Each structure stands twice: as C-alpha cells, then as structure tokens.
Amino acid sequence: MIEKKSFCSTWKLLAITFLIISTTISIVYQSINVEYLAVRLFHNFLTLKYRIISDIDRPTLSSNYRAFEEILKWKPFAEVDHQVDPVEIIQELRSSFTMVNLVPKPSKCRIEQNFVSFDRHQVEIFSINYQQKISFEPPERILIYLHGGAYALGDIQSYAGLECHLSRLFNLTVLHLEYRLSPEHPLTSAVEDSIVLYRSLLEQNYSSSQILFMGDSAGGGLALLTIQSIIAQGFDVPRAVVVLSPWTDLSASGESYQRNSQTDVLLCMKKFHWLVNRVLSTNIVEFSPSNPLYSPLFGSFEKFPSMFVNFGTAEVLEDDSRRIIEKAQNENIDVTFEEGKDLMHVYPIFFPYYPEAQRTLKNIQNWIQKLFSS
C-alpha cells in the first residue's frame, strides 16, 4: 500500500512538473502551438551546440542563425515530377508551404477579413493590427504587404505571424492582399489585384503619402511591378517601398544564380526553372521572362518613391537586388539598401530565431520613422 502511494505521488509530481515547464515555455514564447514550441526548443539546443563549434569561413554569423540554418537543411527540396500536371504539384506544395509553425500569429494581434473593389474588380484583403499599436491621429500609415511564394504559393495563414510583428514594430496597419496565384491565373493578375487595392485606398481618401508597399521574394517583385504600373498609368506614387530579397529577374540572368546555388538553403535552381517554364507561363501564350511585365528589373525606375532593399549574400537572388539598386540609383532614386553577409534568402522574416533578422527589421523601422518625419 505504501509503495502504491509512493508510485502515485511520483507520477503526480512528474505531472505537475511537466505542467509547470510547459506553461513556462508557452509564456516565454507567447504561444501554445506545440510544433512551434518544439522548433524553438530544438533551435535553442542547436544554438548551444554552435556556441561551441565556430565557423571559420563565416565568423560574423551568430550561433542562433547557424542553428536555424541547420533546421532548414534538414528539410530537403522536394523533387518535381515533370510528368505530373503542374496544377496538381502546386496544390500539393501549397498544403506544405506554411510558416505557421515557424512564425505563428501572436494572441494579441487582431486580423479582420474584408473585400475592397475598384472599377468592378474585387479583391480579398486582411487588415492586421497588433493590439498594443499606438493609435495615430489622422493621417494613419498603411502598409500594403505582398507575400512571397513564387507567385504560386502563400496566404494569410502563412504570413499572419510576420505581418502582426510588422504592425507592432512599425506601429501601423498592415493590409495583407490575397492576390490571385499562378498557374490558375497569369502573373499579371497579381499586379491588377494590387492596383485595385491601392486605387480603392485612394478612393477612400487616403493620401498616397500615407501608403507604403512591402514584399518579400516574389512579393517584393510584385511590389516593384505594381509601382511601375502605378507610374505608367499616371497615378500618384506611394510614400515608399520596402523589398526583402525581391525576385526581379525571372530570366535568372544574374551571376548569383550560379555563384550562390550551393549556399542558398531556401531556394532551389531546378524549382526556379520549373516554376518559370511550367507554372508562370501556363496562362500566357508568349511568355518572356525578360519582359518588364513580369521582371521589374527590365522596367523603368524613373519617378519611383524612396526604396529600402534588403538581401542576403548567400542567396541565388543576390544579383536581383544588386541590379535594381544600381538601376534605381542611376535614375537618381533615393535608395537605401542593407546586405546580410552570408545570410539566406528573405532572412528577416524569421525574426524570432536570430539577431541578424531583428537588426534588419529594426533598421527598416528607423528608416520608415525618418521617412515620415522628414
């Protein structure tokens, strides 16, 4: 009888201990997402490992970053079966393309679905406000965020965590646009949707000087394509644009596509060519990757607003950024850029894991503040 009581007491103690530990972990990381918490704990373990193991070739990288890099390397690129309908492949990729378990939505963030229209064209958007955001007297600042995913993947579920963080950090309202994706729709449909959102805001008496565009990867390319279209149509340009590792050259003509093919832990060259040739060109009879309708690098940057461009020197899209920076500067555009030495594609979006991402987002925050105060 005594042994049975002792056994039960031990299990109760273990249960209470587990409850305390799990509750503490949830409080520390502000989430009850079990998979996310598991990733964070594993990341902490790997960080300790890399504090001991140095990287002679990349001494500037934090142990936190190298730990996260290892986590990504454990998930190899899926092979693409060229015999399968690309629509089926994309639908399968969409189900696995999510950042929910890496950057989850915080509980204090408020997200509201809405539909806006202009000229009989309706688009779906999500208004994102972090609960602790300091309210502004009019005019309010609006950031239109265009998500990445090679124009074929991505949605509010994947990007809510990042966009909530941006709302808090930049102290503004973020509008997430669910633009039409390929291969169901041509790439130009995404530009049309983005223009509709922008024009609808102007129609609601928002000033163009209150609006910023921001995007990562394909979303960065889309932001640039949108502003090029805005200028071409003679509309007032937004206050500024921020792009993280923008995909600006669908023809992959930059040297970094080969130079960094072995160091890029997020992007695969085989998938790049497949996406361009089989997905993005599906609904376009004469598709040319170097056409400025699809690749903003080959368009004009004349009359552009202030730009902030960020990229990593270990990614295949490095030259996509460097070349638009050079082109914009040659056209006397105000360009601020930040390169992440030895860092991956869109590294700032994984801000919970390493200081390199946090510093870059903080620098963007300071840049935006100076922009609005000037």
Tell me which residues are annotated as active site.
217, 315, 345
Residues 161 and 155: their CA atoms lie apart, in Å, by 12
Q: Is the distance from CB of 293 to CB of 186 less than 8 angstroms?
A: no
Query: Which amino acid belongs to residue 171?
Result: N
Strands (E), 1-151: 109-118, 121-130, 142-146
Q: Measured on CA atoms in the order 244, 248, 254, 260, is the torsion positive or negative?
A: positive
Exposure on the CB side of residue 152, measured as CA atoms within 13 A: 27
Q: Which of 202, 226, 230, 207 is nearest to 141 (CA)?
A: 207
Q: Is the distance from CB of 37 to CB of 31 less than 8 angstroms?
A: yes
Residues 246 and 218: their CA atoms lie apart, in Å, by 6
Residue 353 pairs with which residues in a beta bridge? none
Tell the burial category of 324 from Cβ atoms under 10 Å away from its Cβ (0-12, 13-18, 19+): buried
Q: Is the distance from CB of 238 to CB of 212 less than 8 angstroms?
A: yes
Strands laid side by side in the 211-216 sheet:
109-118, 121-130, 173-177, 142-146, 211-216, 240-244, 306-312, 335-340
Q: Is the distance from CB of 107 to CB of 83 less than 8 angstroms?
A: no
DSSP per residue, 129-163:
EETTPPP-PSSPPEEEEE--STTTS--HHHHHHHH
DSSP per residue, 265-280:
SS--HHHHHHIIIIII
The pair of three-digit structure tokens given for residue 275, joined into one six-digit string: 């996406």
